[in-house]
Structure 1
């Protein structure tokens, strides 16, 4: 079964007309995962700067219930739902402060403050807004684009889950492994934004601080075409006399817990690690309590082991889980 929608539907997921046209042209997709893979490639490598700004402009300011006039009805409804936690936790003073900071942000950067707001309280969003306000414009532009992609993924999941008999495509979902090259993460920034600055100064622009922990994850339930909420996640690092665990052998070290959390409504884990400039090189393991999430599934739990090298300590490692009752896959994302 192939899955696809028209340009109008994709425009509700992301307000860029270029993105919507490219997605409609690439349809139909063999699975939800296939659609996500293509969507990321289009957003980071085909949509230009104007397209990014167009998508940003389709969002209401955080804390507002009305969407811009050019946003679709579906997009407006989704925006309201995504901000439901923030709206429910807002007070008179916090709403006023959020409005003031929204205005300051818009004046500095020229576009609306963008954050994947699902499950976030007003206080959490306000704290993130204040922290990101200190960023340089080019750094914040990249962060906003990444947040837009998170929102797009969430909305694509809603769009695909609305299709009847989505569950019948489980077997196809589980056979697709999404491959995402690390360089795609900031491809459009390098190609469309920094070139002029580098030519004029002779120096490349570098991020001076992270906006999130160096290791993150999220879980997608591909059998239902939606995020997996409420799943327990555990992050560990290998410590011992040997630098890495030996396959099939015990001894020489042990796994040390760094953090734990439960996935939110977007399927994203909470903060598993502190926000630091340099990740410690070593072998890490992210474990997911899949048995508790789906007691009838084949896997009581899933663990993903990966290594961060000394040369990679400033990079970001997003290690998601794509899960169905009888299979799972992963990839290094952004």
Structure 2
């Protein structure tokens, strides 16, 4: 377990590396590290959300590159990010082939429309819910979808920060 005190005490590069599994945006990591020291996890969480929402689109795309497609089943979970993604997408694990095929088709349509992976905070959602959200978001205009993606990235980052600092006794929720 990592503690906020360890994050506060670490050299900048080491602190950014600690945070990287939570959000793969280099700009986010630098900004969070620059905001130290944090008196606790609540302060860290409060700092993270506005940083994510203010990221340039290129920085968001950097973070998106670390996220698998919804419904993809990685064959290995070698990194923290992959392990967390598998857990967050647990609602897809038992989906039937028809739903998985619809998710694959939806992912392709989404990527063709918006040029990036469909990002959603999948934790606690079923495959059917995730498919419905994807289908609804296909109707968004690109500018609105960018705002939605930033919100989803903020929620995922918050959830992952809570996982990283689980010993800080904050309820884990998106």
Same fold (TM > 0.5):
yes
3-state SS of the aligned residue for 1:226? coil
2:104 aligned with 1:104, yes or no? no
Quote how far apart the aligned CAs of 1:18 are: 0.8
Q: Which residue of 1 aligns with 2:90?
A: 84
| Aligned residues of 1:154 and 1:226 also touching (Cα < 8 A) | no
2:23 aligned with 1:21, yes or no? no
What CA deviation, in whole Å up to 9, does each residue of 1:25-78 have, x standing for no partner?
A: 323310111001111232223x222101111121000001239xxxx8111110
TM-score, normalised with respect to structure 2: 0.87
Q: Which residue of 2 aligns with 1:225?
A: 170
Equivalent residues in 2 for 1:292-331, closer than 5 Å: none
Structure 1 unpaired stretches of 5+:
167-223, 228-265, 268-334
Which stretches of structure 1, 4 residues or more, deviate above 6 A after TM superposition?
none
CA distance in 1: counterparts of 2:52 and 2:131, whole angstroms = 27
1:104–1:15 Cα change, 3 Å? same
2:34 aligned with 1:34, yes or no? no
Quote how far apart the aligned CAs of 1:147 are: 0.4
2:79 aligned with 1:73, yes or no? yes
CA distance in 1: counterparts of 2:155 and 2:93, whole angstroms = 20
3-state SS of the aligned residue for 2:120? coil
Q: Which has the larger radius of gyration?
A: 1
3-state SS of the aligned residue for 1:225? coil
1:55–1:2 Cα change, 3 Å? closer
Structure 2 unpaired stretches of 5+:
8-14
* CA RMSD of superposed structures (Å): 2.0
Equivalent residues in 2 for 1:230-245, closer than 5 Å: none
What CA deviation, in whole Å up to 9, does each residue of 1:140-193 have, x standing for no partner?
A: 11101100100000001111114xxx3xxxxxxxxxxxxxxxxxxxxxxxxxxx
Quote how far apart the aligned CAs of 1:2 are: 5.5
| Aligned residues of 1:4 and 1:27 also touching (Cα < 8 A) | no
| Structure 1 or 2: more helix by fraction | 2
2:68 aligned with 1:63, yes or no? no
1:44–1:58 Cα change, 3 Å? same
CA distance in 2: counterparts of 1:146 and 1:52, whole angstroms = 11
What CA deviation, in whole Å up to 9, does each residue of 1:251-298 have, x standing for no partner?
A: xxxxxxxxxxxxxxx36xxxxxxxxxxxxxxxxxxxxxxxxxxxxxxx
**Number of paired residues?**
164
CA distance in 2: counterparts of 1:3 and 1:28, whole angstroms = 8
Q: Which residue of 1 aligns with 2:12?
A: none
TM-score, normalised with respect to structure 1: 0.47
CA distance in 2: counterparts of 1:118 and 1:9, whole angstroms = 22
Q: Which residue of 1 aligns with 2:60?
A: 52
2:166 aligned with 1:161, yes or no? yes
CA distance in 2: counterparts of 1:65 and 1:9, whole angstroms = 25
Q: Which residue of 1 aligns with 2:154?
A: 149
